[in-house]
């Protein structure tokens, strides 16, 4: 294929921009904030689960405490009733008197046991409430960290988008000046060879595959017409001669 030397140089400019665009796309995909957000999301999900479980535990303990308190109340009121009967002197039979006194004694001991249960439940409830407060704080901190990371991610992404837009604009201007067949060949090779379709020949070396050309190849290139489109023997990319080619 034939191509004006100026158009060949334009291809190098296009390649530079395309490589830059590929780098920007890579940077956008691999922003550190993306991994950070994933890590934070996992932590937040885990914390939300723990908060929900602790809330359930706390409401179970509330119910347990109310039940234990009502048990105490029941025993206490029965023992009060017995005591009143005793104090009022309503009981005259010694056998009944003994039964009542023994019942009061056993109710008091039962009440004391139930009061211990209330205390124990209250302690467990307090521990759970403290843990819930800690978990809620940890969750709020993680959510705040997520928001900050999201803000950083979004501003970095915007910056990349702006840079991309300016490169794309330049690219469009340059591409418009390159003949269609040359542009099509470049695009095909670029897609085929890892994003690089054209390279400069620099001091006898192809900048696409970084290999030095043989003396024979260099000799052929030295005598080739300036508008002849050269290809690297090694990597098959378009090879462009510049003032630094060492020919
Ligand atoms: Zn090469």
Q: How far is the CA of 236 from the centre of ligand 1 (A)?
A: 6
C-alpha 229 – ligand 1 centre gap (Å)? 14
Report CA(232)–ligand 1 centroid distance (Å): 5
Average pLDDT over residues 173-199: 97
- What is the reported pLDDT for 191? 97
The residue whose two tokens read 């900050």 is 148
- Ligand 1 center to residue 245 CA distance, Å? 13
* DSSP assignment of 50-72: HHHHHHHHHHHHHHHHHHHHHHH
Query: Quick one: average pLDDT of 102-109?
Result: 96
Instruction: Report residue 247's pLDDT band, with 50, 70 and 90 as the boundaries.
Output: confident
Residue 89: pLDDT above 90? no
Q: Give the H/E segment covering residue 182.
A: helix 180-192
Residue 203 Cα to ligand 1 middle (Å):
13
> What are the structural domains of the chain?
5-25+179-241 (no CATH), 31-172 (1.10.287.1490)
Residue 238 Cα to ligand 1 midpoint, Å, equals 8
Cα 209 to ligand 1 centre (Å): 4
Model confidence pLDDT, tens digit, residues 204-232: 999 999 999 999 999 999 999 999 999 99
Cα 235 to ligand 1 centroid, rounded to whole Å: 4
34-78 pLDDT tens trace: 999 999 999 999 999 999 999 999 999 999 999 999 999 999 999
Sheet holding 238-241, edge to edge: 205-206, 198-202, 238-241, 230-231
In this predicted structure, what is the pLDDT of residue 92?
Answer: 84
CB 234 within 8 A of CB 206: yes
Rounded to the nearest angstrom, the distance between the alpha carbon of 24 and the centre of ligand 1 is: 24
Q: Quote the ligand 1 centre to 171 CA distance (angstroms).
A: 24
- What distance in angstroms lies between residue 148's CA and the mean position of ligand 1's atoms? 46
pLDDT attached to residue 10: 97
Check pLDDT > 90 for residue 130.
yes
Contacts of 93 (CB under 8 A, 6+ apart): none
Query: Is it the case that residue 91 has pLDDT exceeding 90?
Result: no
**Ligand 1 centre from 163 Cα, in Å?**
29
Q: What is the mean pLDDT of the chain?
A: 96
Would strands 205-206 and 230-231 be described as parallel, antiparallel, or unpaired?
unpaired
């Amino acid at each position: 294929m034939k191509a004006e030397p100026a158009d060949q140089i334009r291809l190098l400019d296009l390649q530079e921009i395309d490589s830059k665009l590929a780098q920007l796309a890579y940077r956008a995909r691999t922003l550190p904030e993306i991994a950070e957000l994933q890590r934070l999301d996992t932590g937040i999900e885990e914390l939300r689960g723990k908060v929900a479980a602790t809330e359930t535990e706390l409401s179970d303990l509330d119910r347990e405490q109310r039940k234990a308190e009502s048990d105490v109340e029941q025993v206490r009121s029965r023992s009060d009733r017995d005591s009143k009967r005793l104090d009022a002197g309503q009981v005259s039979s010694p056998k009944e008197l003994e039964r009542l006194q023994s019942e009061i004694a056993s109710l008091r001991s039962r009440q004391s046991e139930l009061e211990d249960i209330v205390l124990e439940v209250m302690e467990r409830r307090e521990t759970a409430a403290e843990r819930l407060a800690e978990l809620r704080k940890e969750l709020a901190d993680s959510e705040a960290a997520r928001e900050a990371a999201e803000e950083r991610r979004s501003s970095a992404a915007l910056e990349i988008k702006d840079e991309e837009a300016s490169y794309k604009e330049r690219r469009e201007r340059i591409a418009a000046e390159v003949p269609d067949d040359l542009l099509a060949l470049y695009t095909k090779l670029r897609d085929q060879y890892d994003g690089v379709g054209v390279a400069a020949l620099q001091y006898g070396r192809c900048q696409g595959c970084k290999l030095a050309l043989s003396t024979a190849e260099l000799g052929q290139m030295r005598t080739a017409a300036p508008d002849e489109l050269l290809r690297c023997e090694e990597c098959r990319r378009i090879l462009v001669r510049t003032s630094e080619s060492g020919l």
